[in-house]
Every structure is written in C-alpha cells, then in structure tokens.
A and B are shown apart, each in its own frame.
Chain A
Amino acid sequence: MRKRTKITVDPKYILAIIIVVCLIVMFVSFKFQDKMTPVRAVVGNVVTPMQKGINIVGAKVSDAMDYVDTVDKLVNENKELKKQLEELSAENKLLQQDKYELDSFRKLYDLDEQYAGYPKVTARVISSDGNNWYSSFVIDKGSDDGLAVNMNVMAGEGLVGRIIQVNKSYSRVLSIIDDSSNVTGTFLKTSDSCIVSGNLELINEGVIDITDIDGNADIKDGYAVVTSQISNKYLPGILIGYAKDLRKDSTNITQAGYLMPAADFSKLDMVLVITQVKDSEELEEMVTE
C-alpha cells in the first residue's frame, strides 16, 4: 500500500470554524437581504427543474392511491349526491332570483370590475416548504414571465398569498396561513376593517386568526372578508375568506374570531398571479397629506 501523509484536523475545530462562518453568513444575508437573489439562484436553478419533474411523479402516485381508496366511497356518495341534486336544483332557482339583486349591488360597490380587471397569469406549484413550520411554496414562473416581488397570488377565487422572492424561472410565495403573515382586510358588508393573520396552532382546524375588529361593528359569522384599500401590499377587493366564531375581546373594545380561507390550501396545484403591484406610494402620499 502507498503511504500518504494526510493532514488531519480534529472535527471539533472544523465545527467551530463552520459555526463562525455560519454566523457571519447569517449576518451578511440579513443585512443585504435584497441582494441575495443571484446567490440563491445558483442552487435554485439546479434544483427546481428536478422538483418539477419529480413532483409530477408524486402527484400521479398520490392520485392513483386516491383512486383505489375512493371507488367504494364513490358508489355511496353518488346515491347521496343524487338526492342532494334534487334539493339543490330547487334551491338554485331561488338563488338565481337573488343573483340579480346581487349583481346590482356589485355594480354599486364597483367590485366586480376591479376583480376581473386585474391581469392574471397562471402558474404551477412545484414544491412546498422545506419544513413544517413555514407555509410557503415555489411556483414555476419568475421574472422572465413578468412576475415581481409583492404580487398577489390567488387560487380559485380566494387570496393565497404574495410573492416574496423572485428568480428568473421560479418564485416563492408566502401564503396567508403562514404564522408570520398579516393581511389588512375589510368586511364586505359593513366595511369594518380587521387584521387577518396566520396561526400555526390553528392550522389543523383549517382556520386562521382574525383580530382588531371594531367592538361596535355589526357583523355575523359567515360574512365575507376581502382585502382592504389601506393594505400596502395587497390589491383591494380580493376575497380572503369567511368569518367564523366571532366574539368580543375581554376589553370589550375590539372583536376577534377565526376566518375560513376561501382558497383550499390542502391541495394547491395551480395558482393565479395578479401581475399588478399595489402602488403604495400613492397611498403614503394620501396619508402624509
């Protein structure tokens, strides 16, 4: 055997060096947060295509498993659904009448136009977060497709979150159910403002927190909450969800409760990105005046 002279360093010292380097890197990346994008892209550009590919396989397998699981259920469900269908079609006729009324109200609020008027781009979710503490995900469109930081993301007709990092071909979305997310909302019916914030402790119940509602506000469970005019990152009039379990705070000055998000977060597959960033400078000018 050939003899080799090897320099051996005690792992203790390697550990110490790594810890020091880590602390420096943490400090630097915290200081220059917005300049880190190209550095992150080095890893992201390699990894995201792989995730995209393997994600399709994962979804297929999961679908197949669901299929076997549900054949029995479907037969029973079908019977029930037929019964429901009859009831619902009767109900539907009543609702249709209400709809005319609603349309005229919508025009009054000028909401409908705003909603449909936002330019949108569809994107596919390619990976969810790295661990169970965060609720963010990565979509397969980036600055090449005209996306930018702070653009709002929707699924179906409900708000999902906003973009927090943009790279060339992918971007990261922080969802509203994340523990650190806060959205200023307003009740559609009464125009009372409130704050919608994610809460990890409630994530299993499928609800998030809603706080800081005026104590005198005449609101009930089931009222719709939309994004507010005064929010500086979210465009106004996007449906967030429906209020639930509202109650007076112990101080009696404010009310709080839970909110059922309108978007289904358990199965996010395709999302809509609104390619229009809220111009908050205008808002700040109004405030300073």
Chain B
Amino acid sequence: MKRYISLFLTVIICFLLQTAVFQNFKLANVVPNFMVIVIASSGFMYGRKFGMYTGILSGVLMDFMYGDIIGVHILIYVLVGYMNGKGNKLYFKDDLSIPMLSLAVSDLIYNVLYYAFSFLLRGRLNIFSYLRNLILPEIIYTVVMGLIIYKLMHRIEDKMYPPVEVPLTDNGADKY
C-alpha cells in the first residue's frame, strides 16, 4: 500500500516538474521527459504490473490536460511500462547502466511512437531532422535527470522497506 501511495506522489511531482518547473530550465529547447523516467524506473524496479499502473496514471494526467484525443499517451506509456517491467529480471539495485540504457530506449520509443501518431499522419516525413533536433537532446537530458530520479526512488524504497526484508514475490515482481 505504501508503495502505491509513494508512486502516486512521485508521478504527480514529476508531472509538475515536467509541465511547470522545467519549462523555465529548457536546454536546447527541450524539457526532459519526467513521465517516462517514472514509468521506466517503476517498471524496472517493481515489475510489469507496476509499470503499467504508473503508465495509466501518467497517461491520464497527460491526456486529460493536454491531449486532443484521450488515450494516445495512456497507450504509449503502458507499453513503455510493460517493456521495462520485462527488464525486471535483470534488476540489480546498484547497477545503473542497464536501467539508464532502457530509459534511453523508452524515451526513444515514446518519441518515435508520438511522432508516428501525430506528425507522420500529417505528412511530416523528415524524421531525421526531428531525431537530431528534438529526440536526441531530449534523450540526453532525460537520462541525466533520470539518474537523479532513479536514485531518489531507491532512497524512498529503502526508507519504506529496509533492504533485507524484501521478499521478491511480495512486491509485484514477476515470479519467473
């Protein structure tokens, strides 16, 4: 239960960071994608189900506030959460390289899917220009911020459930 509450709050805080606070700290005209950070890390840390739950919550926030069609963000986020949940098997607390790699891939997938949904359909075919000017800077910025958020989420996790007592089967992780 504690984990649900803390994830809920993390999603809300990251939503505020992405839409309000970091609009003042744009680098190369991009804002880091905090929603993908939370979804990817929670999927990676707790498994497929949690990845999908955070995906739904962030998607609802995003679509209801900013989307023209409700459901696009939910769909992409849930897919990202599910895919990162698959990586839960490789989860090892002190390792940072795999989660950051999967975060970068998640952000790439999010952007490419979003491009396909909203730009490709309108005949904007020049994907490489978008890759260079928008997607690549965003991935870099997102991974840097992701390091901080991922570490913070571990801190919270350790406070809530001291490390030794966590049995793998009890935290929503996949059994096999």
Contacts and interface: CB of A to CB of B under 8 A. Distances in A.
B19 A29 contact: no
Contacts of A154: none
Nearest to A18: B78
A26 B61 contact: no
A200 B56 CA distance: 28
Given A11-B49, A25-B74, A133-B114, A43 B61 contact: yes
Given A19-B78, A58-B22, A129 B66 contact: yes
B133 A204 contact: yes
Nearest to B126: A201
B18 A130 contact: yes
Interface residues of B, number: 55
Interface stretch (B92-100, B115-123, B149-157): B115-123
A128 interface: yes
A184 interface: no
Contact of B64 (A11, A39, A134): A39
A23 B71 contact: yes
A201 B18 CA distance: 22
B124 interface: yes
Given A11-B174, A131-B33, A47 B65 contact: yes
Interface of A is mostly: helix
A133 B78 contact: no
Contacts, number: 134
Nearest to A126: B20
Contacts of B78: 15, 18-19, 22
B65 A179 contact: no
B70 A26 contact: yes
A62 interface: yes
Contact of A132 (B20, B25, B31): B31
B74 A180 contact: no
Bin chain A's interface residue count.
35 or more
A22 B117 CA distance: 14
A25 B134 contact: no
B52 A18 contact: yes
Interface string A45-84: 0010011001101110110000000000000000000000
A60 B56 CA distance: 32
Contact of A43 (B65, B82, B118, B129): B65
Interface of A: 11, 14-15, 18-19, 22-23, 25-26, 29-30, 33, 36, 39-40, 42-44, 47, 50-51, 54-55, 57-59, 61-62, 126-134, 136, 138, 172, 179-180, 200-201, 203-204
Smallest CB-CB A-B distances: 7 pairs: A26-B71, A62-B24, A43-B64, A58-B21, A11-B48, A29-B70, A130-B66
Interface of B: 12, 15-16, 18-25, 28-31, 33, 35, 47-49, 52, 56, 60-62, 64-75, 78-79, 82, 85, 111, 114-115, 118-119, 122, 124, 126, 129-130, 133-134, 138, 174
23 contacts: A11-B85, A11-B174, A14-B49, A15-B78, A18-B56, A23-B75, A30-B69, A39-B64, A40-B65, A43-B60, A43-B61, A47-B61, A51-B20, A55-B20, A127-B65, A128-B20, A130-B35, A131-B114, A132-B31, A132-B134, A136-B66, A179-B124, A201-B126
